Amino acid sequence: MKTVYLIRHGETDHNAEGRAMGQMDIPLNARGLDQARQTAEFLRRYPIERIVSSDLGRAVATAEPLAGALGLAVEPDARLRELSFGILEGKTVAECELADPDAVERWRSGDFDAALPGGESRRALMKRTREVLEEIVAGPQAHVALFSHGGALNALHTHMLEHGNPAPREHIPRAFRFHNAAVSMAAWAEDQWRFLVVNSTFHLTEESRQLLY
């Protein structure tokens, strides 16, 4: 059996303000750094053999305390980056709606091929995250931790949910939602994924902020 641990990065100031980051490289704030430390304390009890992270700084910084505790390297992988929101990155939802209401409406429709101006489609996100998951399944390590972002984790969880479906759904605007530093766990056994934990923040001392979008 193979176990994958999926972790969202800790909090940033943009998270606290409800701003879409996409692929902007926004650092963790003080709360996010503390969340990374607490997450490492929780996950160090598991036999994790490999740590792969989005190459964006907020994800790498969340992974580093666990890597240090386990004596492992953080392997950056750009395929685990957040979806690119193009020209709307750095804006709040309200600002996005004012800037380009038609584009936001198309985005909210869940169309897999819709992309915000200068951004990336969900289909592209699903393709690159699927590649990472397939490589892990084929790889030798039995316990792998992935540090990523809300949208990319949504894609990864959806791959797991839809595995083996001959006609997987393409309408997944927010099938899963994740708090900062939330941990999910899934086991690969008998050619299928089984969720063990989804969006757990029990290891954090502070209550999670409300999910704003």
The residues annotated as belonging to the active site are: 9, 82
Cα distances (Å, whole numbers) of residue 63 to 36, 67, 115, 145, 187:
7, 6, 29, 9, 20
- Return the closest-CA partner of residue 13 out of 63, 58, 78: 58
Q: At what angle are helices 150-162 and 122-138 packed, to 10 degrees?
A: 60
R_g (Cα) of the chain, nearest Å: 16
What does the chain come to in residues? 213
CB 78 within 8 A of CB 56: no
- Amino acid letter at 35? Q
